[in-house]
Amino acid sequence: MGTFRELPIISAPSQRFTTVLMDRRCDFLVEYNGTTNRWSFSLDVDGVPALAGRRIVVGVDLLSPFVLGVGRLIAFDWEQGAEPGRDELPAGKVRLLHYDPEDDAA
């Protein structure tokens, strides 16, 4: 079975972090927009810009339309009905999870 790994989001309204997903370096910029009460992210894969301003919504693979080769990224509502607003994402009420489908083949 594949593995899930949480990408932790802190309460800072703008944050950068780097992680390795499926053997590729992924640089994230995660930002909160107070006007829309939503988080979004930009992503560079192996130093190449891949996504800019992708809104974080619950229950969909945020990467699937782009075929980036880094697995799946899904926001789950840990508390039923939670939306990824200013406090919910950093508090863990909504969690950003990476899924590596290659683990299914192993």
Instruction: Report the amino acid identity of residue 53.
Output: G
Alpha-carbon gap, residue 70 to 25, rounded angstroms: 9
For the chain, what is the domain count?
1
The per-residue pLDDT for range 47-104, each reduced to its tens digit, is 999 999 999 999 999 999 999 999 999 999 998 888 999 999 999 999 999 999 876 5
Q: Residue 94's domain spans which residues?
A: 3-105
List phi, psi (to 5°) of 90.
-65, -30
List phi, psi (to 5°) of 89.
-70, -50
Q: How many residues does the chain have?
A: 106
**pTM reported for the whole predicted model:** 0.91
